[in-house]
Amino acid sequence: MPSDTFYTAIDIGNSKIASLVARVGTEGELKILGTGVMPSQGMNKGRIESIDEVRAAVATSLEEAQRYIGRGVVAGVYVGVSGSHITCVNTKDVVQNPGDIKDVDAHLLNQLIQSSFPEVGHTQEVLHVIPIGYDVDGLSGVRNPVGLHADEIQVDAHVVLGDAVVLKNTIKAVESNRVSVQSLVLQSLASAEATLTGDEREMGAVFVDIGAGTTDLAIYRQGSPWYSAVIPVGGNQLTKDLQVALNTSFYMAEEIKLKWGHVYPDMLQGSEDIVIPSYQGQPRRVVQRKQIAEPLNARMVEMLKQILLKVRQSGLRQIPDGGLVITGGCADLAGLQELAIKTLGGPVRIGHPRGISGLPTNLRKPAFSTAVGLLLWGIKHQGERRYYGTAQSTLFGKKSFFSRFKREAKSKARSEVATR
């Protein structure tokens, strides 16, 4: 089996590092071969604070994922990134068709996508340039202009940027384990690959991934990502609030949150007693489950309001018709769907990983949406390669982006022509 049929995903989060190794079967199906999940160390809200701790955790996670398939099958890996350093901008660029025949080809489309790169300084790196749509001779809403007759084409693109140093440290932590980073992928876009339906993308939807350290948001319109943002608050903040309310340790508060946590106290019927173990000389005590739910409710309502604020900052007045899809580790908290409906209105659902037949039960939880989505992203963008820190393309500046997205444009154009 050739090595390029293997795909590896590494989700470096604030609470866990998950590595998945998969292979494409003879009929095109994706099969998970190995899984490695380790507690995360050295991460804080998407930034590496101790590269040695992250490197060691990634190494252990990869080793576990390869336990039953042997070493050497991991070629390029897809790594999820997040953090408050992530920003986005939508661009518009126009190119004239110089050809005699005037039919749009892959080369012209490549030129157009190149022109969509914003000018960035040495402190930023472009992660993604994603075409939203094209205007062909004034006709808007064109999805694929290849093959159309046109004198002038405009592309609307969604551009995602990140802090160059943060991204460079992420690459360093992964590649120190003798693997090569194929691409860095914004976690919300990866998670959306595994959870959003085609209808939700087309109708427009707000996608939210609530992790331990951050809440990642992506708004989809007419099938494509249109807005991205990262809110620097996640599940760990709920745990800290519970820690203060119960006067216990962070680790005990986390365990209580996972076992008995509820974010909508009004749904709890009657009294349910929960035993809190002794802590710092205090005897063990009994509290009602509603007492646990109240601080979690207060924080989650605030987080939902922050999500709505980001939606409005994007230019939308309300949640699109496709609704709100919530995934990530916090999505399993009881009462979240009902609370989101009450707070934000509109349809709300909890997103679970999908898109892979025979997905193991332990990977069907919202906490693994990013890891599974990274594999799907890898298949969707196979053949594309991001080179970091080489003489031909550096981490800093636009040259590396051009070389990458030339391949992306050509690959996308070829695939779209083949399906027309």
CA distance linking residue 326 with residue 210, whole number of Å: 7
Domains and CATH numbers, the chain: 3-84+166-197+353-380 (3.30.420.40), 87-163+395-419 (3.30.1490.110), 231-349 (3.30.420.40)
Secondary structure tally for the chain: helices H, strands E = 11, 18
Q: Are strands 43-44 and 139-142 parallel, antiparallel or unpaired?
A: unpaired
Q: For position 213, what pLDDT does the model report?
A: 94
Q: For position 396, what pLDDT does the model report?
A: 34
Cβ atoms of 80 and 374 closer than 8 Å: yes
Q: For position 27, what pLDDT does the model report?
A: 75
Residue 397 has φ and ψ, to the nearest 5°, of 105, 180
Q: For position 395, what pLDDT does the model report?
A: 41
CA distance linking residue 383 with residue 57, whole number of Å: 28
Cβ atoms of 324 and 346 closer than 8 Å: yes
The tokens describing 138, both together, are: 């004034």
Q: For position 53, what pLDDT does the model report?
A: 96
C-alpha dist (Å) from residue 143 to 131, 139, 320: 9, 11, 20
CA distance linking residue 11 with residue 43, whole number of Å: 12
- Per DSSP, the three-state class of 14 is coil
Give this prediction's pTM. 0.86
In total, the chain counts a number of residues equal to 420
Which run of H or of E encompasses 182? strand 180-186
CA distance linking residue 409 with residue 381, whole number of Å: 11
CA distance linking residue 366 with residue 331, whole number of Å: 6
9's CB contacts (< 8 A; 6+ apart) are 18, 19, 20, 22, 77, 78, 79, 80, 371, 372, 374, 375, 378
The alpha carbon dihedral of 120, 413, 182, 77 has a sign of positive
Tens digits of residue pLDDT in 68-119: 776 656 667 999 999 999 999 998 887 776 665 567 777 777 776 766 677 7
Strand positions, DSSP E, 211-318: 215-221, 224-231, 273-276, 285-288
C-alpha dist (Å) from residue 282 to 118, 190, 251, 285, 289: 58, 45, 16, 8, 20
Q: What is the phi-psi region of residue 163: left when phi exceeds 0, alpha when psi lies from -120 to 50, beta otherwise? A: beta
Q: For position 82, what pLDDT does the model report?
A: 95
The tokens describing 217, both together, are: 């948001």
Q: For position 398, what pLDDT does the model report?
A: 39
CA atoms within 13 A on the CB side of 63: 8
CA distance linking residue 294 with residue 103, whole number of Å: 62
The tokens describing 90, both together, are: 């939508």
Q: For position 311, what pLDDT does the model report?
A: 96
Q: For position 291, what pLDDT does the model report?
A: 93
CA distance linking residue 229 with residue 84, whole number of Å: 8
Q: For position 23, what pLDDT does the model report?
A: 87
Q: For position 400, what pLDDT does the model report?
A: 37
CA distance linking residue 84 with residue 218, whole number of Å: 14
Packing angle between helix 399-419 and helix 106-114, nearest 10 degrees?
140
User: For each of the chain's 420 residues, which pLDDT tens digit applies?
Assistant: 344 478 899 999 999 999 999 988 777 778 898 999 999 999 999 999 999 999 999 999 999 998 877 665 666 799 999 999 999 999 888 777 666 556 777 777 777 676 667 777 789 898 998 888 888 877 777 877 777 877 787 888 899 999 999 999 999 999 999 889 999 999 999 999 999 999 999 999 999 999 999 999 999 998 999 999 999 999 999 999 999 999 999 999 999 999 999 999 999 987 888 888 887 777 888 999 999 999 999 999 999 999 999 999 999 999 999 999 999 999 999 999 999 999 998 899 999 999 887 888 999 999 999 999 999 999 888 756 554 443 233 343 333 333 343 344 444 444 444 444
